[in-house]
Structure 1
Amino acid sequence: MNATILHHDGPGLPEITLAEGLESPAALAPESEHPDDRISLIEDGRTIACASLWWTEAPPLEGERVGCIGGFAARDGKATAILLEAAEQRLREAGCTLAIGPMNGNTWRRHRYVIESSARGPFLLEPRNPVNYPGWWRASGYRELSRYSSSAMPLDGSSVVAPALKARLERSGLIIRPLHADRYDDELRAIHAISLRSFANNFLYTPLEEEGFLDAYRKVKDRVDPDLVRIAEKDSKPCGFVFAIADLEAAARGEKPALIVKTLAVDPESRCAGLGSLLVDEVHRLGREKGFTEAIHALQHETNTSLKITGRHQGTPIRRYALFSKSL
Structure 2
Amino acid sequence: MTKPPKLHRDVPAWKGLRTAAVGTGAFADAGSGAAFLDEACETLRGEGFEAVVGPMDGSTWGTYRLQTWSDGSPAFLMEPAGGPHDLAAYERAGFEIAELHVSATSAPGSRGFAERVRGVSVESWNGKDPEALLSGAHALVMEGFRATPFFTPVPQAMFLERYGPLLAHADPRFILRALDHDGNLRGLTLAFPDPMRQGAIVLKTYVGTVPGAGRAMADRIHALAGELGFREVVHALMRSGIASEAQSRKFGGTVFRRYALMGRQL
Q: TM-score normalised by the shorter chain: which range applies?
A: over 0.9
**Residues 112 and 322 of structure 1 are in contact (CA less than 8 Å); yes or no, is this contact kept in structure 2?**
yes
Which residues of 2 match residues 214-253 of structure 1 at below 5 A? 214-234=160-180, 235-250=182-197
Structure with larger RCO (C-alpha < 8 A, sep 6+): 2
| Letter of the 2:190 counterpart | F
Unaligned runs of 5+ in 2: none
Q: Which residue of 1 is the match for residue 83 of structure 2?
A: 130
- Percent identity over the alignment is 27
Matched, 1:192 2:150: no
2:26–2:82 contact (8 Å) kept in structure 1? no
Deviations 1:1-34 (A, max 9, x none): xxxxxxxxxxxxxxxxxxxxx3xxxxxxxxxxxx
Instruction: Show the 5 A alignment for 1:1-328.
Output: 22=1, 47=2, 50-55=4-9, 57-155=10-108, 157-161=109-113, 163=115, 165-166=116-117, 169=118, 172=119, 174-234=120-180, 235-250=182-197, 256-267=198-209, 272-328=210-266
What's the secondary structure of 2:25's corresponding residue?
strand
The one-letter amino acid of 2:100's match is: R
Q: Is the 8 A contact 1:258 1:292 kept in 2?
A: yes
CA distance in 1, matches of 2:157, 2:43: 31
Q: Give runs of ≥4 in structure 1 deviating > 6 Å.
A: none
| Unaligned 5+ runs, structure 1 | 1-21, 23-46, 251-255
Alpha-carbon RMSD across the aligned residues, in angstroms, is 1.6
CA contact (8 A) 1:160 1:312 kept: no
The number of residue pairs the alignment matches comes to 265
For residues 268-290 of structure 1, the C-alpha deviation after alignment (integer angstroms, 9 at most, x for no partner) is xxxx2211111111111112222
Contact 1:284 1:295 in 2 (8 A): yes
Residues 134-193 of structure 1: CA deviation (Å, up to 9, x unaligned): 0111011111111000001111x2414174x23xx1xx3x22222242210110111111
Distance 1:162 1:283, change over 3 A: closer
TM-score by length of 1: 0.77
In the alignment, is the contact (CA less than 8 A) between 2:105 and 2:233 conserved in 1? Answer: yes
